[in-house]
Amino acid sequence: MGVKFSQFTLQTTINPTDYPAGVQSGVSSRWYWDTLHKTAHTYRVIQTTKYTALAATESTISMSDTSDFATGLPVRFKVGSTAYYALCTAVTSNTSITIAGATLSPSGLATLSELAVGSPGNVQMLPLFVSSTYGNGSGDLLAADMNTYFKWLGRKSYLVTFSAVHKVADTGASQPKVNVKIAGSAVSTADSNNGVQLSTAGTWVDNGAVSISTSLYDINYGESVEVACTAAGSNGDATNLTVLAVFVSE
């Protein structure tokens, strides 16, 4: 005769060698808590019956069941054996998900060999600020204007998107353009690799959904992050820039 759940002793602490029981692939199993902890920030593979393998567009995947996804969660998809990373930016219930990051059309709409979703812990947001005038010439802004540098000391991750805003817009006809650089290379492919063009004061501008170079978007331990002004504004008097870079870890 089985034991009722209510008859188990209630514990208030967990040790690494303790384990819960469950079923895996139809087999009664148990796992140590430290093993579960290690997998807390890994990706969960989505059943192939829940989505259409052939991408719908360069940034959308058709799905019959979207219950695993939510906006802001990391997405990993594979084309063949190559893994790509992105961020879920929209969910149309049981119809599709939209992503920002690696394109779903690297050379024509891709057929996915795998789709997976990660946890919020796989997403890291990095705010970068440049005070005073920034759009009066092209070049690196953190090093030149802020006299500072940023070094990545996390695990390997991928820049999937970024947004930019300034407090005071250029008084001329055109606003400055900025890009994010990893290890010295500009990552956004938007506007012929110029990145995003700022708008009116206080208005956020997002990088294009899949305007990301997948050969340059990875960042490894010890590499640098920089913000570059790629095109000056007409009058060069835009000030106080904020860039929010979003990274997804493996």
Spans in the chain with pLDDT lower than 70:
1-8, 10-25, 29, 31-41
In the listed set 61, 89, 118, which residue is the last one of a domain according to the structure?
Answer: 118
Sign (positive/negative) of CA torsion 183, 187, 193, 195?
A: negative
- Asked if 99 and 128 sit in the same domain, the reply is no
Residues 127 and 236 in one domain: yes
Do both 138 and 213 map to the same domain?
Answer: yes
- For the whole model, what pTM was predicted? 0.86
The H or E element spanning position 240 is strand 239-249
One domain, residues 174 and 155: yes
Long-range contacts of 46-49 (CB under 8 A, 24+ apart): 46/115, 46/116, 46/117
Give me 7's structure tokens: 């008859």
Helix, strand or coil, per DSSP, at residue 133: strand
Count of structural domains, the chain: 2
Of 118, 133, 99, 125, the closest CA to residue 209 belongs to 99
Residue 5: left (phi > 0), alpha (psi -120 to 50), or beta?
A: alpha
Q: For the chain, what is the radius of gyration of the CA atoms? A: 22
Q: Would residue 204 count as lying in a domain?
A: yes
Among residues 159, 181, 43, the alpha carbon closest in space to that of 102 is found at 159
The whole-number pLDDT of residue 42 equals 85
Looking from the CA of 52 toward its CB, the CA atoms found within 13 Å total 16
Residue 46 has what DSSP assignment? P
Same domain flag for 189 and 135: yes
Domain containing residue 131: CATH number: 2.60.120
Do the domain assignments include residue 22?
no
Residues in the chain: 250
91 and 203 assigned to the same domain: no
The per-residue pLDDT for 150 is: 98
Q: What is the pLDDT of residue 33?
A: 56
Distance, CA of 86 to CA of 57 (rounded, Å): 14
Task: Give the domain extent around 221.
Answer: 122-249
pLDDT for residue 180:
98
Give CA–CA dist 101/217, Å, rounded: 9
Contact by Cβ (8 Å): 58, 210: yes
Domain final residue, candidates 52, 84, 118: 118
Query: What kind and span of H or E run contains 38?
Result: helix 33-38
